[in-house]
């Protein structure tokens, strides 16, 4: 699992929680561009992607991943604090 979030504390807590399952290999990134590079090099089975990040946000990162043949098949789940229906619908693709 590749966990992408610009907040270091959240990345650390998420990583520690996911690593409680010894069968999961977890890596983290702090921004969209770093995530794209890591995904291309590592080919994770799943990306947990923060929706709101400075610079390249989650939807922009997802779009860039889908443009590349070597990352277009990776499953992506958005992680977000946004809970309004209209906001959540924006992230569903």
**What CATH number labels 2-92?**
3.40.50.2300
What is the domain partition of the chain in residue ranges?
Answer: 2-92
Whole-model pTM? Answer: 0.88
31, 60 Cβ separation under 8 angstroms:
no
3-state secondary structure of 54: coil
Query: CA of 39: how far to CAs of 32, 50, 82, in Å?
Result: 10, 15, 25
More confident residue, 59 or 87: 59
Residue 34: the pLDDT is 98
Q: In what order do the strands lie in the sheet with 27-29?
A: 27-29, 2-4, 46-50, 75-79
Q: What is the pLDDT of residue 80?
A: 81
Residue 93 has pLDDT above 60, yes or no: no
- Residue 81: pLDDT band (50, 70, 90) is confident
For the ranges 29-38, 52-61, 78-87, the maximum mean pLDDT occurs at 29-38
């Amino acid at each position: 699992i590749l966990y992408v979030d610009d907040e270091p504390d959240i990345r650390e807590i998420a990583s520690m929680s996911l690593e409680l399952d010894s069968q999961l290999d977890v890596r983290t990134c702090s921004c969209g561009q770093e995530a794209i590079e890591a995904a291309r090099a590592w080919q994770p089975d799943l990306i947990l992607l923060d929706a709101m990040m400075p610079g390249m946000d989650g939807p922009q990162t997802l779009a860039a991943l889908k443009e590349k043949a070597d990352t277009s098949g990776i499953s992506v789940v958005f992680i977000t604090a946004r809970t309004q229906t209209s906001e959540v619908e924006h992230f569903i693709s």
